[in-house]
Amino acid sequence: EALADTGHAPRLGMKCRLVASDKYYIIDGNQEFKMANLLLRLREGRAEEVLLEFSEIGMALMKKYLAMDVEEKSIILSTEIKELVKGQDLTFNSIRLRTQE
């Protein structure tokens, strides 16, 4: 919702995916430590200020939902934006076709 509220991201174009791993390593070896990385894949062409705003929104949401881990100082949070290149990164969305019927 927060990304859509900026006016720079259509709701229908958003998808959310969680990829969990039980095999990971943080350099000091403490198994109580965690990491969450928010990867935003976007079509190219948004202004740098918009991309920064998206990163800030993502970081704020992660801090909110992972507040206990943040308070315990047991988590690393990061955001990452990948701009999809038209003609190179392809998408076929049959769900969108279905909603247009």
Q: Which domains does the chain carry?
A: 2-99 (3.30.429.10)
Pull the structure tokens for residue 86.
């038209």
Dihedral, CA atoms, 6, 95, 62, 85, nearest 10 degrees? -70
Nearest CA to 79 out of 39, 41, 46 is that of 39
How far is it, in rounded angstroms, from Cα 70 to Cα 23? 21
pLDDT, tens digit (0-9, with 9 covering 90-100), for 31-43: 788 889 999 998 8
Strands 75-84 and 34-43: parallel
Distance linking the first and last C-alpha atoms of the chain:
25
Q: Kindly report, residue by residue over 12-68, the tens digit of the pLDDT.
A: 778 788 888 877 777 777 778 888 999 999 888 899 999 999 999 999 999 999 999
Query: Whole-model pTM?
Result: 0.78
